[in-house]
């Protein structure tokens, strides 16, 4: 058998699925252009597994999706093999839980939720993950496990939308939203800090709530709160563009033809992932409005033409010269190893969406919070 002498070998050979006792499916679950679930990769992976399914195997889905996906999508495809669930094979769902760039938590320290289609499936999956993680959290069904993951991500999306909306309001009122959040966070109960930004990014938080609101419609239910949060977060790059235009106007400059340096294109600090990054939408909007765009990101050396961006970009060097030659610097991603002092000292105009320029006395040009 293949696994008798190998513990981990990346391969594209699907024949080794025959030898596996446990098969874990973890593929992307994006949205269509109409913001509806795209389960194409789950279906394709399930079809591949079904072709190699044999008695005695445990199949676990980890891909985030709406409650019911394991039973309604994965299981019917596996049953095409002619084998019987809970007799020949077992099926469970265990959501992936990761926080890229977070050095505090690792796979062995993050509790793993596990739900089986039947009792034995749940027990088998619990044994599997118990060999890997420090704590397994068994739940009564795959639907509960799927719903728990959706709740986790929707909770974050809704709270980020709240502080994003408050940021826009407080900016008009001349109030520093970051100072407000820091003050509120001193309350030892009933409050958890969330911070605003130029929009949500990553594969999970901007996407998963729409899976739930889409599924809700099949139950004749409109998830208004979730959809409103999605609209607020999706619109944030447009708000940053408006703030950039306003900052330029106050310095008697026009966005069309302006040289705009974007700091950070990854979706969050200190990682290289650009999936669903608000920077991509922001750059596209800059291009559409005639700006001359450049970017700097120590984690992302090349930015391919995608998401409506017209051309391929290469990260420029961050120097006093490159900052001075820009008409405006817009901070989108607050990577740790960036010399923001250099930016403050040399930029003509700064639009700061992350509150990284805290000491305004060192800013030589014009600073605008966004």
| 119-139 pLDDT, tens digit each | 999 999 999 999 999 999 999
Q: Quick one: pLDDT at residue 106?
A: 80
- Measure the CA–CA gap between 59 and 40, rounded to whole angstroms: 18
- Over range 141-154, report the average pLDDT: 97
204 in catalytic set? yes
Phi then psi dihedrals of residue 89, to 5 deg = -145, 165
pLDDT of residue 10: 83
Averaged confidence pLDDT in the chain: 94
Query: 235-369: which CATH architecture?
Result: 3-Layer(aba) Sandwich (3.40)
For residue 195, pLDDT over 90 is answered with: yes
Dig out the tokens for 10 from the structure: 């990346």
Domain with CATH 3.40.50.720 in the chain: 2-140, 235-369
CA 357/CA 42 separation, integer angstroms: 43
307-319 pLDDT per residue, tens: 889 999 999 999 9
Give pTM, 2 decimals: 0.91
Instruction: Match 């981990």 to its residue by tokens.
Output: 8
The pLDDT of residue 114 is above 60: yes
Share of the chain above pLDDT 70, in %: 98
Torsion of CA 113, 117, 119, 120, to 10 degrees: -100
Pairing mode, if any, of strands 366-369 and 136-139?
Answer: unpaired
Phi, psi dihedrals of residue 36, rounded to the nearest 5°: -115, 155
- Euclidean distance between CA atoms 321 and 298, whole angstroms: 17
Q: Tens digits of per-residue pLDDT, 212-257?
A: 999 999 999 999 999 999 999 999 999 999 999 999 999 999 999 9
pLDDT band at 2 (very low <50, low <70, confident <90, very high): low
Q: Quick one: what percent of the chain has pLDDT higher than 90?
A: 87
Using CA atoms, how far apart are residues 333 and 262, in angstroms rounded to an integer?
9
Give residue 6's pLDDT band: very low, low, confident or very high (50, 70, 90): low
Q: Which among 151, 87, 85, 73 is positioned nearest to 113, based on CA atoms?
A: 151
Sheet holding 292-296, edge to edge: 292-296, 259-263, 328-331, 349-352, 366-369
- Strand pairing category for 328-331 and 313-314: unpaired
**Residue 300 contacts residue 265 (beta carbons within 8 Å):** yes
The C-alpha torsion from 355 through 323 and 251 to 280, rounded to 10°, is -60
Query: Is the separation of the CB atoms in 38 and 30 below 8 Å?
Result: yes
Q: Which of 22, 26, 204, 316 is catalytic?
A: 204
In terms of CATH architecture, what is 2-140?
3-Layer(aba) Sandwich (3.40)
**Predicted confidence band at 4 (pLDDT cuts at 50, 70, 90)?**
low
Query: Which positions ≥6 away from 148 have C-beta within 8 Å?
Result: 95, 113, 139
Residue with tokens 């949500």: 200
- Do the Cβ atoms of 40 and 77 come closer than 8 Å? no
Dist. CA 278–CA 261, nearest whole Å = 15
The pLDDT tens digits of the residues spanning 23-51 come to 999 999 998 888 899 999 999 999 999 99
Contact 337, 318 (CB under 8 A): no
pLDDT tens digits, one per residue of 43-86: 999 999 999 999 999 999 999 999 999 999 999 999 999 999 99
Q: Is the pLDDT of residue 100 over 90?
A: no
Q: Which long-range contacts (CB under 8 A, 24 or more apart) does 76-85 make?
A: 77/43, 77/46, 77/47, 77/50, 78/46, 78/49, 78/50, 78/53, 80/50, 81/50, 81/51, 81/53, 83/53, 83/54, 83/55, 85/117, 85/118
pLDDT digits (tens, 9 = 90+) for 258-282: 999 999 999 999 999 999 999 999 9
Residue 332 and residue 259: Cα distance in Å, rounded?
16
| Comparison of pLDDT for 88 and 106, the residue scoring more | 88
H or E segment and range at residue 128: helix 119-130
What was the pLDDT predicted at 5? 65
Q: Is the pLDDT of residue 3 over 70?
A: no
> Edge-to-edge strands of the sheet including 136-139?
22-25, 57-61, 89-93, 112-116, 136-139
Q: What b-and-e string marks burial along 125-153, b requiring 16 or more CB atoms within 10 Å of the CB? A: bbebbeeebeebebbebbbebbbbbbebb
N- to C-terminal Cα distance for the chain? Answer: 58
């Amino acid at each position: 058998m293949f696994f008798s002498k190998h513990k981990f070998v990346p391969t594209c050979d699907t024949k080794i699925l025959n030898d596996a006792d446990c098969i874990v499916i973890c593929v992307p679950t994006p949205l269509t252009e109409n913001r509806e679930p795209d389960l194409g990769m789950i279906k394709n992976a399930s079809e591949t597994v079904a072709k190699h399914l044999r008695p005695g195997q445990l199949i676990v889905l980890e891909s985030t999706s709406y409650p019911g996906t394991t039973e309604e999508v994965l299981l019917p495809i596996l049953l095409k093999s002619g084998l019987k669930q809970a007799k020949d094979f077992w099926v469970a769902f265990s959501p992936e839980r990761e926080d890229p760039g977070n050095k505090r938590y690792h796979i062995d320290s993050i509790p793993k939720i596990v739900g089986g289609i039947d009792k034995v499936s749940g027990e088998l999956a619990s044994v599997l993950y118990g060999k890997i993680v420090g704590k397994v959290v068994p739940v009564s069904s795959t639907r509960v496990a799927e719903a728990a993951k959706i709740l986790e991500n929707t909770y974050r999306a809704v709270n980020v939308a709240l502080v994003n909306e408050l940021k826009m309001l407080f900016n008009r009122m001349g109030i520093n939203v970051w100072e407000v959040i820091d003050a509120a966070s001193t309350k030892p109960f009933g409050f958890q800090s969330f911070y605003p930004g130029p929009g949500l990014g990553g594969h999970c938080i901007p996407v998963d709530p729409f899976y739930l609101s889409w599924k809700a419609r099949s139950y004749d239910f409109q998830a208004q709160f979730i959809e409103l949060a999605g609209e607020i977060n999706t619109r944030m790059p447009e708000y940053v563009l408006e703030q950039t235009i306003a900052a330029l106007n106050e310095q008697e400059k026009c966005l069309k033809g302006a040289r705009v340096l974007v700091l950070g294109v990854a979706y969050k600090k200190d990682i290289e992932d650009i999936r669903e990054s608000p920077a991509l939408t922001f750059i596209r909007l800059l291009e559409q409005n005639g700006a001359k765009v450049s970017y700097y990101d120590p984690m992302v050396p090349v930015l391919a033409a995608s998401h409506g961006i017209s051309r391929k970009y290469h990260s420029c060097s961050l120097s006093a010269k490159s900052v001075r030659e820009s008409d405006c610097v817009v901070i989108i991603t607050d990577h740790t190893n960036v010399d923001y002092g250099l930016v403050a000292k040399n930029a003509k105009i700064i639009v700061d969406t992350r509150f990284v320029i805290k000491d305004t006395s060192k800013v030589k040009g014009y600073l605008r919070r966004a």
